[in-house]
Amino acid sequence: MKRVKNGLQFLLVLGLILLLAACGEDSTSGEATGESSGGSEEFDISNYPSEQLDFLIAFGPGGGSDTFSRTIIDVLQKHELYPETIVPENMEGGSGAIGYTYFKNNAKGDPYYITTTSGNFITTPLVSETEYDHKTFTPVGLLASDDQVLLVNADSEYETLEDLIKASKEKKISLGGTGAYGPDRIVTSLLEESANTTFNYVPFEVAGELVTGVLSGSVDVMVSNPSEVLGQIESGDLRAIAYSAEKRNPKLPEVPTFIESGYDFSFSIPRAVYLPEDVPEEVRQWWVDTLKKVVETPEWKAYLDNNTMTDYTLFGDEFSTYMDETVATFERVLKESGAME
């Protein structure tokens, strides 16, 4: 019996050695073919998409990012461009930092997560110590640009941008915007730089308070997104005197651009789509192709028109280069204005 037991032990040990050797050969084979034990094997795009899509919105309900994201979702579903369920989730806080940090830490490599951008997607990592920046995630495409408008009270003595610039060189003009480091601050700094002047920039928490400040006369002028003040422009309470895009807005045909007024700059907030980091390239290309269909739908055209946005699209590597250049501009302007070190 003892010999039989020893023989069994020998066979068990021999079997274990052979098993380990086989595993080593499989690992070597995987390395040789570019496959690793980390799950980076070639992605089977023929089965994509086949699961629920989690659509993260890093801001609260009702704002520009929320409307942008939910419009994309509506178009995807109405035109059956995404065959499975899409679940939007608002995760606001920290000027986008809470949502985008969650996206970084919980969605890495997951082809069934997606998110969108706003101006704070750029500025928050520049002025805060976040775990992410725009390079952390996988760029898919720019679907539109959100431009800014410069406004005064309809009763203001400043009829034109030139009137305002002339006055700013003779006295201190208060210029309000939403947030201390956001797009409104960027536009103010670009105007100061181009016109060789300075304003007393006054940050407000929300757009409604900013409008009240201008209407009450506590602030001389303001920067805002057109969609947030279109009602006051149409009612005659506010007068728009300059627009930040390269071309005039069809809904504001009488408002000249900064460039037309002799100030050589334009500015826009990128409204774009990102996937998590480390998703397969085939998935990114699937989304590039799909979003190209989204922006051609009548519903998307109506969204752009209703929200006074510019129809401007870039995809893939071209979009990635655009974002690098845009972030570099934001960083330069914020540093030169003293808004960040």
Residues 103 and 155 in one domain: no
- Higher per-residue confidence, 197 vs 205: 197
98-127 tens-digit pLDDT: 999 999 999 999 999 999 998 889 999 998
Residues 92 and 230 in one domain: no
The answer to whether residue 24 sits within a structural domain is no
Partnered with residue 57 across adjacent β-strands are 90
* Rounded percentage of the chain residues whose pLDDT exceeds 70: 88
Q: DSSP assignment, residue 255?
A: P
Cβ atoms of 190 and 145 within 8 Å: the answer is no
Which residues, at least 6 apart from 191, have a Cβ–Cβ distance to it below 8 Å? 150, 197, 199, 258, 263, 265
Q: Is the pLDDT of residue 60 over 80?
A: yes
The answer to whether residue 248 sits within a structural domain is no
Residues 308 and 325 in one domain: yes
The DSSP-derived string for 127-188 is HS--S--TTTSEEEEEEEEEE-EEEEETT-S--SHHHHHHHHTTSPPEEEEESSSSHHHHHH
pTM: predicted TM-score of the whole model, two decimal places: 0.79
Of the residues 206, 228, 243, which one is the last residue of a structural domain? 243
Q: Which of 69-78, 101-110, 224-233 has the lowest mean pLDDT?
A: 224-233
The answer to whether residue 85 sits within a structural domain is yes
Please state the separation of Cα 39 from the chain's center in Å.
Answer: 29
Q: Is the pLDDT of residue 143 over 70?
A: yes
Residues 135 and 164 in one domain: no
In this structure, the dihedral spanned by the alpha carbons of residues 320, 321, 323 and 325, taken in order and rounded to 10 degrees, is: 170
Residues 153 and 230 in one domain: yes
Q: Is 326 left (phi over 0), alpha (psi -120 to 50) or beta?
A: alpha
Domains contained in the chain, number: 2
Residues 163 and 239 in one domain: yes
The answer to whether residue 168 sits within a structural domain is yes
Q: Which of 38-47, 67-76, 152-161 has the lowest mean pLDDT?
A: 38-47
The answer to whether residue 284 sits within a structural domain is yes
Residues 73 and 208 in one domain: no
The answer to whether residue 176 sits within a structural domain is yes
Residues 139 and 165 in one domain: no
Q: What is the CATH number of the domain that holds 294?
A: 3.40.190.150
User: Quick one: which of 340, 329, 314 has its CA closest to 139?
Assistant: 314
Residues 304 and 227 in one domain: no
Residues 289 and 312 in one domain: yes
Residues 162 and 201 in one domain: yes
In this structure, the dihedral spanned by the alpha carbons of residues 103, 107, 112 and 116, taken in order and rounded to 10 degrees, is: 20
The answer to whether residue 62 sits within a structural domain is yes
Give dist(CA 338, CA 341) in Å, integer. 7
Mean pLDDT of the chain: 87
293-330 tens-digit pLDDT: 999 999 999 999 988 898 999 998 899 999 999 999 99
Residues 272 and 294 in one domain: yes
The answer to whether residue 283 sits within a structural domain is yes
Q: What is the CATH number of the domain that holds 221?
A: 3.40.190.10
The DSSP-derived string for 208-252 is HHHHHHHHHTSSSEEEE-HHHHHHHHHHTSEEEEEE-SSS--TTS
Percent of residues in the chain assigned helix, strand, coil, to nearest 5: 45, 20, 35
Q: Which domain holds residue 177?
A: 149-243
Please state the separation of Cα 28 from the chain's center in Å.
Answer: 42
18-52 tens-digit pLDDT: 444 444 444 433 333 333 223 345 788 999 999 99
Cβ atoms of 206 and 59 within 8 Å: the answer is no
CB burial class (10 A; 0-12, 13-18, 19+) of residue 205?
exposed
